[in-house]
Amino acid sequence: MDIQILDKTFVPYISAEEIQLRLKELALQMTEDFKDEECVFVGVLNGSFMFLSDLIKYYQRPCEISFVKMASYEGLQTTNEVRQLLGLDVDVTGKTVVIVEDIVDTGNTIEVLCELFNRYKIKDLKIITLFHKPEAYTKTITLDYIGFNIPDKFIVGYGLDYNKQGRNIPEVYQIK
Ligand X SMILES: O=P(O)(O)OC[C@H]1O[C@H](OP(=O)(O)OP(=O)(O)O)[C@H](O)[C@@H]1O
> Which residues are known catalytic residues?
105
Q: Which of 8, 30, 43, 47 is in the footprint of ligand X by CB under 6 A?
A: 47
| Size, binding site for ligand X by CB under 6 A | 18
Using CB under 6 A as the binding rule, whether residue 163 contacts ligand X is answered as no
Alpha-carbon radius of gyration of the chain: 16
Using CB under 6 A as the binding rule, whether residue 49 contacts ligand HPA is answered as no
Find which of ligand HPA, ligand X, none residue 155 binds, CB within 5 to 8 Å per kind. Answer: ligand HPA
**Interface segment toward ligand X; rule CB under 6 A; list 35-43, 107-115, 119-127, 149-157:** 107-115
Q: Where are the beta strands (DSSP E) in 87-152?
A: 96-104, 124-132, 145-149
- Burial group, residue 47, by CB count within 10 angstroms (0-12, 13-18, 19+): buried
Sign of the four-CA dihedral 61, 101, 138, 15? positive
Using CB under 6 A as the binding rule, whether residue 68 contacts ligand X is answered as no
Using CB under 6 A as the binding rule, whether residue 107 contacts ligand X is answered as yes
Quick one: 15 or 165, whose CB is closer to ligand X?
Answer: 165
Residues from 53 through 92 that contact ligand HPA (CB under 6 A): 73
Phi, psi of 105 (to 5 degrees): -110, -95
Using CB under 6 A as the binding rule, whether residue 154 contacts ligand HPA is answered as yes
Instruction: Please state, in angstroms and rounded to a whole number, the distance separating the CA atoms of residues 45 and 159.
Output: 9
Using CB under 6 A as the binding rule, whether residue 51 contacts ligand X is answered as no
Q: Which of 129, 78, 148, 151 is nearest to 108 (CA)?
A: 78
**Shortest distance, CB of residue 148 to ligand HPA, whole angstroms?**
12
Using CB under 6 A as the binding rule, whether residue 143 contacts ligand HPA is answered as no
Quick one: 54 or 105, whose CB is closer to ligand HPA?
Answer: 105
- Burial group, residue 176, by CB count within 10 angstroms (0-12, 13-18, 19+): exposed
